[in-house]
Structures are given as structure tokens and as C-alpha cells.
Structure 1
């Protein structure tokens, strides 16, 4: 009886429903259900809905996985509109009872949000109350969040009404000045592991390694073959540099298989001492080479990758404050323009639209970051005020006249629940409108622009935002947009945008723009820590060269606790042995030539992989495996749809 009443409300809600329209229940039906719902204890309501969800999974009902997922969303929506507080209980119990996921995953995904753990059940309930389960919203969610439906066709919508027609001069990039450059530092993905523990298990079976809770449940330990590892120092990093403490006998713990060493491990995020070592290496390099940075960009991710049950609000705040404090301490007065990553929020990956009732969940982060960035002198009060009110995004003009536009990529992140309602509409967050307004204003006064964000659009983004961003980039390139910078993948990569659909468009004549994807300081997972800086033309703000530096982390496993050695890895201009004019910037045409070499040659594919992982011990062997087979698809795709189509073509040829 109770479930049928709730379902009747759902049917009333969905009657005549169109995407983007407000959802208003029939008053008499809603009143009837509310009256009856108060007659039942919460346990009865929960049991009724759990039973209904469980029944959807019965094989006797012969319902496809996709239809099951969509119907679950519809059932959940009916409950979310009347008793949203019960949605987390219902879906957690259903998930565990049907073993849809592991118990811990069920809890992390559907349980009510708390400040102790990054559960997302409350955000899931919010999404249900807003979304259209039977339209594009539901199909998109069931594709990307539960892998139950095929990817729906990306809606054919546009943002072109936001900008004027492109004039002839806007199709041509300005020419660089004659050998007049300045330097910009690019750092990314620190992922500080606050509870990193020297001597903890570094080869753990699950979750984050090198922590007090790390275990290897599969190792049958009869001896410790890595006793030659001797860098287990209880070390610190102070304003004066690295201070080596006493040697620790980590093998006193017989459960340890691969002990965590002082400066980090390839299956762990970065201890603070590694972060400070990287920053100190930057400061020392600048001083020793008399090389100043005009400014720095940070492309996101301060918080570690530990499981969501161990990721709390206080830990998130502390991670953000500690890393930015360390950056300011080491880089001094160098201005830095940051973005927030998918880990730099709480709960993980979530961000609600303003003016729809849920943005107050996340305003603490915008306010904290805006205050901190203003206090450090990175943003002016006016810029800080905008960041405070718009998802930590902002626009700033540097002293040399370049505009830097910072975007919060959780807007298009496929794990953000709030991105799944009204998902067929082009800009529910209003961030693309902000971007276009800034670009139109800059174009009108012939100003060059850099765009910085965390998540690139061909991987972990949703298809429609990726399509729209590519449309914006094509409209304002190459005249106004000088460069685009991302982080997130932890790999040293690039991406190219071509005009026209399909692989046939990937010609030098169709090149539009390219983006830089920065390497990470964290070694997670299987990479050497790294940073880079750019040599930038003062007139056009085009990148003339990029210089990459790294440390071979495995050398710190047996060096008596000595500090990591940071050394030159390669320059982007010389690293691929491409014939290219000295006076020409490293633009999309240059990267097209590199991509073509990667596609044609196993040797160049291997070079790309070597650079991507910074020559770590885990770099794949391109000649004797298929691990490198999708590299060309990645570097020549700028959107989700382009990458998926390319991968499908590659797999069909195998």
C-alpha cells in the first residue's frame, strides 16, 4: 500500500515531464501520500522500498540491467521527493542485500554523508530529487556511474549564441617576438598523504599503501628480500632543508613485506617530506640558475587517494591548507594561480550548482580557498570575491597583460552526482558562460588567454561538457586562446583538437589547438615525481619550450636516507627530435607532428611512454605489449566522444 502511494506520486510527477522543466506533483496525490506516510514507522518505509528494489534484480522478471538501473532511479526519485532522509538507508540496504557492490563500496556510495567519511548518499538523494530518470539524465547516470546502460547519444546543443561571428584575423595566431621570453612554473597533483608512515606496508593488497592501515593479505612472507633498503629514517623537512633523523628498524614488524621508505613509494601518495623536497628543488634551481618565475600555475589535487571511508572533512581541509602553506613557504613571492581538483572537495568529487538549493554544502571550500589565496597575495580582493562565489574559479590579468582563466573541473566530472540532472542542457553551472564572457572581452581588445583546469575533457569528463568546451576552444583559437593546461592523469601528456569529426579529420590542415597535461609530484601510481616550467614568449604568451625535471624515487630506497636528487629529464622541443623552426612556438601543429610519430613508430610510442611515467621502473614495453596501443587515440582526442570513437576503431582492427 505505502509503496504504491509513493509510486503514484512519481507517476504524477512524471506526467508531461520534459527535460529542464520544473517537477510539480499533483497536490491531492502528494497530500494523500504524506498523510499515509506519517502512519508508518521509518523502518516500514525503508523495508517497503528495499523490497521493491530487490525485486527488480530477480532473474524471473527478465529485466535488462539498464532498465533495472533506470527503474531504481525512478523508485528512488519518488522517495527522494517525500522522504530524502531515507534514501541513503534504502539504497545502502538494497546494495548490501543484493551484493550489488562490496559492503564497503555500498556504504561509501549510498550511505548518508558525514564529516568523518566521504560518503555520498546525501548527494545521491539530492540528484534523484532533481533528475529525470527516464530521459537523458537516467541513461547517462546508468552508463557512467553504474556501467549498466550503453552511452547515450550526446545531445546536439550549442553555446554559439554567446559569441559574435569569428573575424578573419581570429583564424591566425600572432607571431612570437624575437627571443624575448619569461618563465612560468607548472606544478600539479601533490596528493599529500598526511598519515604516511615510514615502515608501513608499501605493497598493500587494497586501498592506499604506506599508511598505518595498509596490509598485504596475499604475501606469504618467509624472509625479507629487501633488507638492503636502508633509507628508513625518521626524517623531517624544515625551513633549513632536509634533516635526517635516526635509522629505523622497520623489519621488527614481521607483517611488513615492502617497507615504506622515507621519501615515498610507487603505490603511495606523497609524504609531506617529498612535497617539500620537490618545492625545495624548484627554489634551488631558480636560485642556482638565476632564473625567475613570472608566476606559477597549480592544476589541482592536494588530497590523497585513500578510500572514502577514511577521507574526512578535517583531513580534506588540513591537506589543502598544508600544501598551499608549503608552496607559499618555498616559492615566496612568486604569484601562483591555482585550480581545485576532484579530490579537493568534500565529499569527494561533488559540486552542486548555485541557486538550486545545494551549493551551501560546498561554500566552505570556496570561502577557505578564496581567503587563503588572497592572504598569500595570489589573488586580489576582487578576484578572491569572484572565486568565493563561483566554485573557486576566477579570472586574473598578470602584470605582463596575459589573462589566466581558472575553472573548477568538477563541473564536468563524471563522478559528480550534481552533473547528472538536467544533463542535456548546456551549462547548468554557468561556468561556460563565464568562460565565454571572459574570452569575448579579451578578443575585443586583442588580449591573449591561458585556461587552467584540473580534469582533461577526453577522459573523466562527461560527453556534453567536453563537446561544448571543444566548441568554445575552436571558436577562440588560435587568436585569443594561447594555451590550455590540465593535471589529473599524473602523466606527462598532451591533447590535440582538430576541426571536423572522425579520424579522417586528424590532419595538419585541421589542427585547431592543443593542451598541456602536467606530470605529478605524487608517485601514485608507478610514476616518478616531476615538475616543469615553460619558456613563454612575452608578446604572444605562446609556449616556446617546456623543461621537465624529475627524481628517480627508487634510488631513495637504498641511499642511507639521503635526499632525492632532482635532475633534468628532457625539453619538449628537443625530446621528440622533430624538425621545427626555433622561432615557432610549440603549438598544436608541433604536437600534431609528434602525435603522427607516435602513431607510426613503436620507437616514438616508447619515447612518449618514457616521458609520461618519467622513466619509472614500471614504464610499459611498447614493443612487446598492447599497453601503448591507445596512446595515439588519447593525444589526438579532445572530447569523450572523439576518444571513444577512436578506441572503438582501434579495437575493431585487432
Structure 2
């Protein structure tokens, strides 16, 4: 999930520099800290604060490096940051201590061993262009085969018996959820007895979930899966990552595996006879986002424990021959139906919350080389491909990795029929463009809303998507014809004491008046949103799966509109041209 995307160790550096360089920000540091936990992005800050943040970050990273060189121990450095967090009153002391203890040794190791300068480290982690000259980590490419076929993006009519795919993401089941606990608390995650029960007059966690920064109880996930099975009657299920809750300061391997085990068991309970294909989220790792690269394995950092557990659980639905790929890097390819290959990629080797990329960002586990091989095989056999991942390749993905991924999709655009992601918790897409022609769309990353209610920006309800596809028969195109979102009304469900009902929120084709969901159609839709107020408001209404139907959509001014639509066209974080095109259209309409 996008929330808490960057390590909280760097988040401490960020707020430390605000306090150091501008005391005027102190009054709202806690609000900013909570916003950080929910968004994981610094890229929307004003230029002035971005410059301040970059300067402060570089100063503090250099300070950490100096302390290491002066012989300070990891524990001494950790104590300094814990004290800073407590003094600034950013979070309760146990959150400060837990997060820094989990990440401290890792961050000190990376700062001590990386070849990158403080400006590069800060530019990468904060996501700032030109942070004292930062333009990206090491550039690299992947070899692509010649002989690209003519672009082919069909918009088939709905077949007599459409093939339905259920898409779930960001389940974040909380085994410690407590009905009656406070929805609003001092912790980044609430609705737990340990963090306070609701007092008279305070909003309490309901039987089916809590509004705000709460994850969902196990019985809500169980019920959601049962409803999805009954409503959708899917032929296949995609699960694009993030199973553990948001208690990232207090997680262990055992606690994360408990969430994985429970979720897998529930999926098997409800869908024992159809393929359930998953991708790996950033929250599965402990600490969050931490996916070591092979170059640090010899120093004791590894992720084997997670890949071994995934291989065991995913073996319910995967053939034995693909498990070595899971063990190598958390990715795999499988052919669940004739003519279709589903490729699950591990996007954590692009995520800017993964510090280990500062040790080696050049295709660390040869995943992109492997992906090109698999797509070449599919192209040669005439098969079509769906790609699953967690983190979309946009603004929280390493620039070089993102560009390479987009170049691969550009080369194989006629083979890839859909890309399916999560992470943002929102109901949205990212349009991918030809790396040599930023005006020509080549792919769509379909991003499903989260099952969890966890959010700071908007109260939301558990949700899922279903794709109507042209599949399941000989010569099928496997193209996505439409997608439909279903949500419960969380407020109503908690109030009436009955089991919630998942209702259809909208069909993309009907709501947006498009003929299909090809790359060209979605590109044209986003372009129209730049000038069509009613269409843009419709999108905003659907983007957030509200806890109750809002009387009106939140205000979104011109800058908000630019930022929102730029997100939809920035699938290559190294290329600002599609975003600039949208901004130019909006500016011309003012």
C-alpha cells in the first residue's frame, strides 16, 4: 500500500529538519506526521518546503555518516533519533522506539556502505527531482528482442459468457481489531484495545470496521470474500498484495505470517476450485518496505524467510515448477487458462521505500531480464498476458526501474492485455505511454480500491473490483471490457446491526461514457477530465470508496486537479511529459 511508503526512520529525519530549520512548522508537525503515514509522499509539497526538506535531509544524512565515521554505535544513533521523535511529540514513545529499532541497523548499514552521496539518498527517498542535482540512481537498461509486432489493442464486444476476474488488494487484516475501541487515537493505527477504548461521546470501532486509520477485522474480510464470491461468481481471482495491518512499528515475522496464513486460508475457503493468483506487497516484509538485494546477502540481510513462506502458501494455486522463481525473487508466471499467461512481478525492487536499492538498483534479482524472457515466450506462442503487481510504476517507483518497466511494456504492448495493481487504496488507473512517443498510450495499469478502511484523507468502505474480460475460449483476446466496483456502506452496516451488503458503485464504461477500456480510451478519458468539470467530479466521487455516500464531493481546485490527473498519466516516474501535457490543457482552459 502507498501508506507509510517510505521508512519512518527517514520520516524522522524529515520532521527533524522541519524543527531544525523552521520552528514555525512545529505547531502542526503531528498532523504532518500523520499525513506522512497515510500518503507516503513528499512530492506534493510546495517548492519552498521541498527545498527546505532536501537541505535538512542532506544535512542529517551527512551527520549520520559523520557519527558512523567517528565510531558511534548503531544503538547510540538509534537513541538519538528516538529522543528526537519523543521530544517533537510526533508519536507515542513506543511507536518512536519500535520504528527506529526496527529500521535503525538497516539504515546505518546502507548509509555506511552505499556509494551514493547524501543528495542522491535524499532525492531517492523523498522522491524529489533535482534535490541538489539528484536525477535518479544508476541508469541501466534491459535487452529487448527485435521484430516488434504492429500495436494491437482490441476493444471487443462483451461475449455471450464473459469471463469474470475478481481483483482484491490491500486487505490489511487486523487480528487485534477491537469493537468499541477508539477510532481516533494517538497511534498511526487505531481500533485496538491496547491503544484506547472509546470514551463517552467519542467515535468507537464498529462491528464491521472503523472510519479513519483502522484496518479491518478478520470477520469483515471473511464476509467480503463470501459476498464477492456470491455477487461476482468469478472465474479467477487476483490479489495484489498487502495483507498485514499498519502497525509497522510493532511487527515481527511471526505477526506478518499470521496475517498471511489467515488471509490465505480465507481465500482457499471461499475459492477452492478456481485460480487465486497473488502478487507481493510492500507490507509483507519486516521491516516494512525492506527487500534486501543479493549484494547484501553475505552481510546477513536476506528475505528468504518471506519467499519460503510465500512459496508454501501460494503452492495451493501454483505448479511446483514455478516455485523456484518465487524463492529467487517473489515473482512467477503461470498459465491458468489456454492462451493466457499471468505474470506476477515483485514491484518492491522499484519501491522508493526500499533502502536496499541504494546498495544496488540495477535489476537486483534479474527480474526485468526474466520478465522480457517470459513475454518473448508468450509472444512467440501467440499467448496473451496479464501482469500482476502491487506498487504501480509511477511516482513511488525508482525512476530507472520505472522507465525500464515502461520500455518492456512498450515493446510487448500487443501481448500484454492488462496490468493489475493496488497500493494506493484508491479506485483509479495509470496510463502507460510509448517511451519514444509520450503521446501514444500503450497500456493501462488497473488499480483497485482497498479492502481495508485505512485512510487519513477520506473515510472509506471495504471494496473490490470485478473485470469483465473477453476470455475463456479459443482465440480470446483476454482484453478487459469493463470493470465494476462494489463497496459496502460502512456507516450503515455498523449502525443497523445486520450483515452488510456490497452494492455496485459504478461500471467504468457506463459512468464515464466510454466504448471500452483500451489504452487509447482511458487516455482520451483523462484528457477530457482536464476540461470537463462534471466528468472530473464523477471520477473524484468514484476514486474514494466512501464510508457513506457523500452529499457532495470534496473540493478540488486547479492545483489539485493537475495533481490528481497527473497521477493518472505518470506511469513512468522518469518522464514528466504526459503530466505536463495535462497541465497545459488545464492552463489553457482557465
TM over 0.5: yes
1:511-569, Cα deviation, whole Å (9 max, x unpaired)? 2211100111111112221112112113111111112211111112320x101111112
Taking a change above 3 Å as real, the CA distance of residues 177 and 593 of structure 1, as seen in their structure-2 partners, is: closer
Matched with 1:278 is 224
Name which one, 1 or 2, has greater alpha-carbon Rg: 1
Matched with 2:207 is 262
Distance (whole Å) between structure 1 residues aligned to residue 505 and residue 581 of structure 2: 34
Taking a change above 3 Å as real, the CA distance of residues 368 and 556 of structure 1, as seen in their structure-2 partners, is: same
2:428 paired residue among 489, 493, 499: 493
Preserved CA contact (<8 Å) 1:606 1:622? no
1:608 paired residue among 520, 539, 556: 539
Matched residue SS, 1:304: coil
Distance (whole Å) between structure 2 residues aligned to residue 644 and residue 74 of structure 1: 36
Distance (whole Å) between structure 2 residues aligned to residue 184 and residue 593 of structure 1: 25
2:395 paired residue among 459, 472, 480: 459
Preserved CA contact (<8 Å) 2:407 2:434? no
Distance (whole Å) between structure 2 residues aligned to residue 519 and residue 171 of structure 1: 30
Preserved CA contact (<8 Å) 1:73 1:133? no
Preserved CA contact (<8 Å) 1:412 1:465? yes
Preserved CA contact (<8 Å) 2:333 2:341? yes
Distance (whole Å) between structure 2 residues aligned to residue 336 and residue 597 of structure 1: 36
Question: Structure 1 residue 322: deviation in Å?
Answer: 0.4
1:312 paired residue among 239, 246, 252: 252
1:595 paired residue among 514, 522, 526: 526
Distance (whole Å) between structure 1 residues aligned to residue 452 and residue 240 of structure 2: 13
Distance (whole Å) between structure 1 residues aligned to residue 150 and residue 109 of structure 2: 43
Taking a change above 3 Å as real, the CA distance of residues 105 and 254 of structure 1, as seen in their structure-2 partners, is: closer
Matched with 2:4 is none
Taking a change above 3 Å as real, the CA distance of residues 93 and 178 of structure 1, as seen in their structure-2 partners, is: closer
Question: Structure 1 residue 196: deviation in Å?
Answer: 0.6
1:159 paired residue among 138, 141, 153: 141
Matched with 2:81 is 95
Taking a change above 3 Å as real, the CA distance of residues 64 and 627 of structure 1, as seen in their structure-2 partners, is: closer
Matched with 2:39 is none
Question: Structure 1 residue 97: deviation in Å?
Answer: 5.5
Matched with 1:386 is 325
1:25-49, Cα deviation, whole Å (9 max, x unpaired)? xxxxxxxxxxxxxxxxxxxxxxxxx
Matched with 1:107 is 97
Distance (whole Å) between structure 2 residues aligned to residue 151 and residue 536 of structure 1: 45
Matched with 1:637 is 570
Preserved CA contact (<8 Å) 2:296 2:302? no
Taking a change above 3 Å as real, the CA distance of residues 446 and 188 of structure 1, as seen in their structure-2 partners, is: same
1:317-369, Cα deviation, whole Å (9 max, x unpaired)? 10111011111111221111101111111121101113532676321111111
Taking a change above 3 Å as real, the CA distance of residues 75 and 567 of structure 1, as seen in their structure-2 partners, is: same
- C-alpha RMSD of the superposition: 3.3
Does the alignment pair 1:514 with 2:460? no
Distance (whole Å) between structure 2 residues aligned to residue 266 and residue 466 of structure 1: 34
How many positions carry a matched residue from both structures?
A: 521
Distance (whole Å) between structure 2 residues aligned to residue 409 and residue 257 of structure 1: 40
Distance (whole Å) between structure 2 residues aligned to residue 129 and residue 630 of structure 1: 36
Preserved CA contact (<8 Å) 1:187 1:297? yes
Distance (whole Å) between structure 2 residues aligned to residue 545 and residue 254 of structure 1: 45
Taking a change above 3 Å as real, the CA distance of residues 70 and 214 of structure 1, as seen in their structure-2 partners, is: closer
Taking a change above 3 Å as real, the CA distance of residues 569 and 332 of structure 1, as seen in their structure-2 partners, is: same
Distance (whole Å) between structure 2 residues aligned to residue 643 and residue 256 of structure 1: 48
Matched with 1:171 is 151
Preserved CA contact (<8 Å) 2:127 2:396? no
Preserved CA contact (<8 Å) 2:485 2:505? yes
Q: How does 1:43-58 map to 2 (within 5 A)?
A: none
Q: How does 1:230-241 map to 2 (within 5 A)?
A: none
Preserved CA contact (<8 Å) 1:91 1:110? no
Preserved CA contact (<8 Å) 2:178 2:191? yes
Distance (whole Å) between structure 1 residues aligned to residue 539 and residue 287 of structure 2: 35
Preserved CA contact (<8 Å) 2:493 2:499? yes
Q: How does 1:553-592 map to 2 (within 5 A)?
A: 553-559=490-496, 561-578=497-514, 580=515, 585-592=516-523
Distance (whole Å) between structure 2 residues aligned to residue 331 and residue 359 of structure 1: 38
Question: Structure 1 residue 408: deviation in Å?
Answer: 1.5
Distance (whole Å) between structure 2 residues aligned to residue 64 and residue 355 of structure 1: 30
Matched with 1:233 is none
Distance (whole Å) between structure 2 residues aligned to residue 552 and residue 592 of structure 1: 31
Q: How does 1:117-132 map to 2 (within 5 A)?
A: 119-132=102-115
Distance (whole Å) between structure 1 residues aligned to residue 490 and residue 395 of structure 2: 27
1:59-109, Cα deviation, whole Å (9 max, x unpaired)? 9xxx95355245235436657xxx8xx643132133246669756665345
Matched with 2:351 is 413
Q: How does 1:346-361 map to 2 (within 5 A)?
A: 346-354=286-294, 356-357=296-297, 361=302
1:299 paired residue among 240, 248, 254: 240
Matched residue SS, 1:605: helix
Question: Structure 1 residue 256: deviation in Å?
Answer: 6.3
Preserved CA contact (<8 Å) 1:175 1:540? no
Distance (whole Å) between structure 2 residues aligned to residue 385 and residue 422 of structure 1: 22
Matched with 1:475 is 411
Preserved CA contact (<8 Å) 2:295 2:359? no
Matched with 1:75 is 66
Distance (whole Å) between structure 2 residues aligned to residue 438 and residue 524 of structure 1: 36
Which segments of 5 or more consecutive residues in structure 2 lack a partner in the other structure? Answer: 1-16, 23-53
Matched with 1:544 is 481
1:607-632, Cα deviation, whole Å (9 max, x unpaired)? 11111112444674246786544221
Q: What's the TM-score, normalizing by structure 2?
A: 0.80
Distance (whole Å) between structure 2 residues aligned to residue 163 and residue 336 of structure 1: 30
Taking a change above 3 Å as real, the CA distance of residues 345 and 58 of structure 1, as seen in their structure-2 partners, is: closer
Preserved CA contact (<8 Å) 1:606 1:621? no
Question: Structure 1 residue 457: deviation in Å?
Answer: 1.6
Q: What's the TM-score, normalizing by structure 1?
A: 0.73
Distance (whole Å) between structure 2 residues aligned to residue 517 and residue 537 of structure 1: 19
1:531 paired residue among 464, 471, 481: 464
